[in-house]
């Protein structure tokens, strides 16, 4: 059985040097080459090496400039860098070490010396990674509050990923702006002692955070309606109005998977009541006056103000002044008169916020960045079949248990947090939300251009994960998600995408997901075909061993295929 091989990138502008070093190391390591610093950084967008061999003297961007960039990034600061150079003197060696290099090797080098030096530093890095994994596991076990938040986010991720025919026309920034408008309006109410009893019963920071889900029901509305540039006809408007009830149903689905009820109670109120009207002429339930919960009355006003002051598919943005006049006409009919009067009296404060909503008010300092990113992505097209994420998690759980009993594979997953690993799988196809309805619903064979758009979902998915990673303190929690998202369409023989990685150069998460994703696709109905039987799916995966799939994992799959079958028919 093969053991896990570390990944090494060699950076040198001389092709001969790259070839010599790669030949020297390829028996023991997975070696990648880059002819420049720019190419190195491009390659590292898709993979993280265990060590970098870096030439010092290169045009455009020399080795010292490259290592400076690496050591100034939280993502790459811990990657060991060894300088390869034909010139060495104490002054330049000290400069490189001060910049963060762990060693210098002079050229020309002997194969034996190069391997020994690299083995030493790879061992150090492996021990550091094991310690990091151990600490993360401890952190996961002892921090109950973090676990509660993670449970909630897992449920939201799953619900969003399982909604298959979704497209939202929300204007960019709508989520953030309505949060800030809500925060401002609530503070004005407090200052004037209006609705004190209702406000005192609310957890305001949690309320503001939950408002992100007020339009989540729009992910169940067709593109043709949400994106229509003209006025909706009666049937279309009837369908559009259903998004309020859809939102309530979606949040109830999330609620069934988590113990975090207060947040979801607020979210359900926002989703289900922000289109009710003070005069009772709203929807979905025709509530009137103070029958409408305060959060719904608040959102009704700020949601309309934001819609008026921003471009939508069916209209251009109104000025702030025009918008205030329109809202004034709705005082006592569409809007709560108390809220409306406060808004009108202080309307300039809302106008100023139009261009400054990125300055965080105190009420929403504790927003979950992960949830914020996901809810801003609501409505972009997702192609996952209903139940797909849940089944994928269960298939991976079968694999995980089997790998723990497997001599070589159990070492590869040593230190993994099972819950985080399984949670991360929900994001593997999240990039598919960028692919248009017409492609996902097409019954015929895709054209080359359409297939290229589908393939690009891996890159889009990586961008989403990176957005989340850039916003959270412990980005290591999203490591599995990044590996799943970017690598589950790579093939064992190197013919996959997006990078054409080969063999164990493909991260384990990608090799696992390649099998379970294909198995679930084969055993599920799709727009262009009916599902295959379990036996047919098993045979196709068996046929793909050593070409499409990791042969070692295929063997493990075949040993446990009856467990997969039980999940597929459940």
Q: With residue 276 as reference, give the H or E element that holds it.
A: none
Domains of the chain by residue range: 7-142, 170-376, 388-568
CATH topology of domain 170-376: Hypothetical protein af1432 (1.10.3210)
Q: Which residues contact 277 (CB under 8 A, 6 or more apart)?
A: 288, 300, 333, 334, 335
- Is the confidence at residue 200, as pLDDT, over 60? yes
State the pLDDT at residue 562: 95
Cis peptide before 416 (omega within 30 of 0): no
pLDDT given for residue 382 in this prediction: 42
pLDDT score recorded for residue 360: 40
Query: Under CATH, which number does the domain 7-142 receive?
Result: 3.40.50.2300
pLDDT of 358 above 80:
no
Respond yes or no on whether the N-terminal peptide bond of residue 284 is cis (omega within 30° of 0): yes
Q: Is the pLDDT of residue 331 over 80?
A: yes
Buried b (16+ CB within 10 A) or exposed e, 533-543: ebeebbeebee
pTM of the complete model: 0.50
- Is 201 strand, coil or helix? coil
Residue by residue, what is the 3-state secondary structure of 53-99? EEECCCCCCCHHHHHHHHHCCCCCCCCCEEEEECCCCHHHHHHHHHC
- Residue 568, pLDDT > 80, answer yes
Cα 438 vs. chain centroid, distance in angstroms? 24
Domain pair 7-142 / 170-376, same fold: no
Confidence band for 131, pLDDT divided at 50, 70 and 90: confident
**CATH assignment of 388-568, among 1.10.150.20, 1.10.3210.10, 3.40.50.300, 1.10.274.10:** 1.10.3210.10
Residues forming a β-bridge with 549: 545
Average pLDDT over residues 397-416: 90
Q: Is the pLDDT of residue 372 over 50?
A: no
User: What pLDDT is stored for residue 140 in this prediction?
Assistant: 57
CA atoms within 13 A on the CB side of 29: 25
Whether 155 has a pLDDT exceeding 80, the answer reads: no
pLDDT at 563 over 60: yes
Q: pLDDT tens digit string along 87-124? A: 777 888 888 889 999 888 888 777 888 888 888 888 88
Cis (ω within 30 of 0) for the bond into 314? Answer: no
pLDDT (mean) for 36-42: 93
Q: In what order do the strands lie in the sheet with 7-11?
A: 30-34, 7-11, 51-55, 81-85, 103-106
Q: Kindly write down the DSSP assignment for every residue of 491-549, as one continuous string.
A: -TTS--SSS---GGGS-HHHHHHHHHHHHHHHTS-BTTBPPPPHHHHHHHHHHTBTTTB
């Amino acid at each position: 059985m093969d053991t896990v091989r570390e990944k090494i990138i060699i950076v040198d502008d001389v092709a001969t040097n790259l070839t010599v070093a790669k030949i020297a190391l390829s028996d023991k390591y997975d070696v990648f080459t880059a002819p420049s610093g720019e190419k190195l950084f491009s390659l590292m967008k898709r993979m993280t090496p265990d060590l970098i061999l870096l030439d010092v003297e290169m045009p455009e961007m020399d080795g010292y400039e490259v290592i400076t960039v690496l050591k100034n990034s939280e993502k790459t600061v811990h990657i060991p860098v060894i300088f390869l150079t034909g010139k060495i003197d104490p002054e330049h060696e000290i400069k490189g070490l001060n910049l963060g290099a762990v060693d210098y090797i002079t050229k020309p080098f002997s194969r034996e010396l190069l391997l020994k030096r690299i083995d030493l530093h790879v061992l150090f890095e492996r021990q550091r990674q094991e310690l990091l994994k151990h600490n993360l596991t401890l952190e996961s076990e002892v921090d109950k509050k973090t676990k509660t938040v993670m449970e909630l986010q897992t449920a939201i991720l799953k619900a969003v990923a399982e909604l298959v025919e979704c497209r939202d026309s929300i204007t960019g920034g709508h989520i953030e702006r309505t949060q800030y408008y809500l925060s401002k309006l609530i503070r004005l109410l407090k200052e004037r002692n209006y609705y004190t009893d209702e406000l005192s019963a609310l957890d305001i920071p949690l309320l503001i955070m939950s408002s992100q889900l007020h339009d989540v029901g729009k992910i169940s509305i067709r593109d043709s309606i949400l994106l229509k540039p003209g006025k909706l006809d009666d049937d279309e408007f009837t369908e559009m109005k259903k998004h309020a009830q859809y939102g309530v149903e979606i949040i109830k689905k999330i609620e069934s998977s988590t113990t975090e009820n207060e947040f979801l109670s607020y979210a359900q109120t926002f989703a289900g009541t922000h289109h009710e009207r003070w005069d009772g002429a709203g929807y979905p339930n025709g509530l009137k006056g103070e029958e409408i919960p305060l959060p719904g009355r608040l959102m009704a006003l700020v949601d309309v103000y934001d819609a008026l002051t921003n471009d939508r598919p069916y209209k251009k943005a109104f000025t702030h002044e025009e918008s205030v006049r329109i809202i004034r006409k709705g005082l006592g009919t569409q809007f709560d008169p108390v809220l409306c009067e406060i808004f009108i009296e202080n309307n300039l404060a809302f106008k100023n916020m139009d261009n400054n909503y990125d300055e965080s008010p105190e009420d929403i300092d504790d927003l979950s960045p992960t949830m914020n990113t996901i809810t801003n992505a609501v409505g972009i097209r997702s192609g996952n079949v209903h139940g797909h994420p849940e089944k994928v998690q269960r298939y991976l759980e079968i694999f995980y248990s089997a790998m723990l009993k497997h001599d070589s594979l159990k070492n590869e997953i040593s230190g993994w947090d099972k819950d985080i690993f399984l949670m991360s799988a929900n994001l593997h196809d999240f990039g598919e939300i960028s692919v248009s309805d017409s492609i996902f619903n097409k019954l015929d064979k895709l054209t080359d251009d359409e297939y290229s758009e589908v393939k690009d979902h891996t890159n889009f998915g990586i961008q989403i994960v990176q957005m989340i990673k850039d916003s959270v303190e412990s980005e290591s929690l999203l490591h599995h998600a990044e590996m799943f998202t970017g690598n589950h369409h790579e093939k064992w023989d190197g013919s996959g995408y997006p990078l054409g990685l080969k063999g164990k150069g493909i991260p384990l998460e990608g090799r696992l997901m390649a099998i379970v994703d294909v198995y679930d696709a084969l055993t599920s109905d799709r727009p262009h075909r009916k599902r295959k039987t379990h036996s047919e799916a098993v045979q196709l995966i068996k046929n793909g061993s050593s070409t499409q799939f990791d042969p070692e994992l295929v063997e493990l799959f075949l040993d446990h295929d009856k467990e997969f079958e039980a999940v597929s028919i459940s």
